[in-house]
Amino acid sequence: QKEVEQDPGPLSVPEGAIVSLNCTYSNSAFQYFMWYRQYSRKGPELLMYTYSSGNKEDGRFTAQVDKSSKYISLFIRDSQPSDSATYLCAMSRNAGNNRKLIWGLGTSLAVNP
Amino acid sequence: DADVTQTPRNRITKTGKRIMLECSQTKGHDRMYWYRQDPGLGLQLIYYSFDVKDINKGEISDGYSVSRQAQAKFSLSLESAIPNQTALYFCATSAAGGRGNTGELFFGEGSRLTVL
């Protein structure tokens, strides 16, 4: 079993839909959780960063962490065609420890006009 | 100009050839990384460097070597390329760790390598 599981999709939604992207993990020591967005033919870029359990909101994006269930989510409200990308979850035990960052495979999202 | 620049962006080569992928950055970061990305395998860390004199193997370093020529430059070499090294390669940088630092990775646009 992989340490982080992420459904690769593809996920296709109409413009304006609420999108839910999810990752599950097995290591209860993970405390820092990230979502990176990767556009086609580009490198990933950090979208959301959260510590421990709870919610974090940034504009149309909300990151949610449920450590008891070992489950993290990224919600996109009022989705736009410009949100079409691959979304990668990543997590680690320690802050800023990219040597031990564990990545999901990414979920491909298409938002149709 | 991009903060993290990779060259070449695309390269097709033959088995057994030596290949170098170059990365330069203007972020002023000490930490630099090389990843490869494959469908079904995701991002895997090949090598990382926390300063010019510090080079470390990542999870999949076999068949690769690196050189940190300066704070801003980090190159990846395949001494004798093989077909299963066909992948998308990313260079990334981050600020040094510390309290309150997210360790955000800043990626280049990638170098697509095909080994025939």
Residues A39-61 have pLDDT tens digits of 999 999 999 999 888 899 999 99
pLDDT given for residue A52 in this prediction: 87
pLDDT at A36: 98
Give B110's contacts in chain A (Cβ within 8 Å).
41-43
Whether the Cβ atoms of residue A100 and residue A76 lie closer than 8 Å to each other: no
Please tell me which of the candidates B41, B101, B110 has its beta carbon nearest to residue A96.
B101
**pLDDT range class, residue B101, cuts 50, 70, 90:** confident
- State both tokens at B93: 């940088």
State how far the Cα of A44 lies from the Cα of A86, in Å rounded to an integer.
9
CB neighbour list of residue A13: distance below 8 Å, 6 or more residues apart: A19, A79, A109, A110, A111, A112
Residue of higher predicted confidence among A9 and B14: B14
A88 touches chain B (CB under 8 A): yes
Measured CA angle at A97 (ends B85, A57), to 5 deg: 105
Across B62-75, average pLDDT: 97
pLDDT of B73 > 90? The answer is: yes
3-state secondary structure of B16: coil
- 3-state class (DSSP) for residue A28: coil
Yes or no: say if B31 and B95 are a contact pair by the CB < 8 Å rule. Answer: yes
Task: Residue A88: count other Cβ atoms within 10 Å of its Cβ.
Answer: 25
pLDDT score at B68: 97
- Which residues of chain A have a CB within 8 Å of the CB of B99? 95
Probe site for chain B from A48, A98, A102, A107 (most B CB atoms < 10 A): A98
Residue A98 has what pLDDT?
85
**Residues A26/A95/A58/B43 CA torsion (nearest 10 deg):** -60
Which residue among A32, A92, A103 sits closest to B42, beta carbon to beta carbon?
A: A103
Helices within chain A (DSSP H only): none
Within 8 A of B4 by CB-CB distance, chain A residues are: 43
**Structure confidence at residue B81 as a pLDDT band (50, 70, 90):** very high
The pLDDT of residue B79? 92
